[in-house]
């Protein structure tokens, strides 16, 4: 799917490819029946996961629960912090990389461990997003992983507790 937006002069302008037909072929490899994610850096292969659990109890910063390199066993591979100060894709990718390497702080939106509201332990994950603004219709704070792998017909179970 390709998104098209209208410019002020009513001409069509390319905005973004939402779906890439070749995404799987570009980013995953199957070797001896096992699926691997192709690393963005160095083309190394990272084993995918069929099971993943995280309680955020043993972490005090995003660097502790984000995968930092191919040998890291963390299950989370990134986050998106889109906001008025980091509204473009390149802006929030740069911010993600800087925060992930512990080189800078959050601008507005946050994804971080917290002890403010917990369910059964001493920590939880807190995400915070400022509201969208004029000219920036989307603001979000989300955590993601590209390591979980399921195919058509698989059963996927997901369990989480949210405080809103």
Q: What's the pTM? A: 0.71
pLDDT by residue, tens only, the chain of 164 residues: 445 454 555 666 666 666 778 888 888 999 999 999 888 776 788 889 888 888 888 888 888 888 776 666 778 888 888 988 888 888 888 888 888 887 788 999 999 888 888 888 888 889 999 998 888 888 999 988 888 888 889 898 888 888 87
Tell me what pLDDT residue 4 has. 47
> 108 - beta bridge partners?
none
pLDDT score at 71 = 66
- The candidate with the shortest Cα–Cα distance to 77, out of 41, 103, 105, is 41
Q: Which of 95, 81, 88 is nearest to 135 (CA)?
A: 88
Output the CA torsion sign for 21, 83, 69, 118. Answer: negative
Distances (CA, A) of 9 to 15, 51, 135: 16, 50, 17
- Residue 109, number of CB atoms within 10 A of its CB: 23
DSSP 78-145: EEEEEBTTB-SHHHHHHHHHHHHTTSS--SS-EEEEESSS-SSSS-EEEEE-PPPBTTB---EEEEE-
Nearest Cα neighbor of 78 from 153, 160, 146 is: 146
Using CB atoms within 10 A of its CB, is residue 86 exposed (0-12), middle (13-18) or buried (19+)? buried
């Amino acid at each position: 799917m390709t998104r098209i937006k209208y410019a002020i002069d009513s001409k069509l302008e390319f905005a973004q490819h939402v779906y890439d037909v070749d995404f799987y072929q570009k980013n995953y490899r199957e070797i001896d029946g096992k699926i691997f994610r192709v690393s963005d850096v160095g083309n190394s292969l990272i084993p995918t996961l069929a099971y993943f659990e995280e309680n955020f109890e043993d972490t005090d910063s995003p660097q502790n629960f984000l995968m930092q390199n191919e040998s890291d066993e963390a299950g989370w591979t990134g986050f998106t912090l889109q906001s008025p100060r980091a509204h473009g894709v390149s802006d929030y990718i740069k911010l993600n990389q800087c925060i992930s390497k512990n080189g800078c702080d959050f601008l507005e939106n946050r994804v971080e461990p917290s002890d403010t509201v917990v369910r059964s332990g001493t920590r939880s994950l807190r995400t915070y997003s400022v509201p969208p603004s004029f000219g920036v219709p989307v603001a979000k704070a989300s955590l993601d992983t590209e390591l979980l792998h399921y195919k058509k017909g698989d059963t996927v179970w997901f369990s989480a507790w949210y405080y809103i």
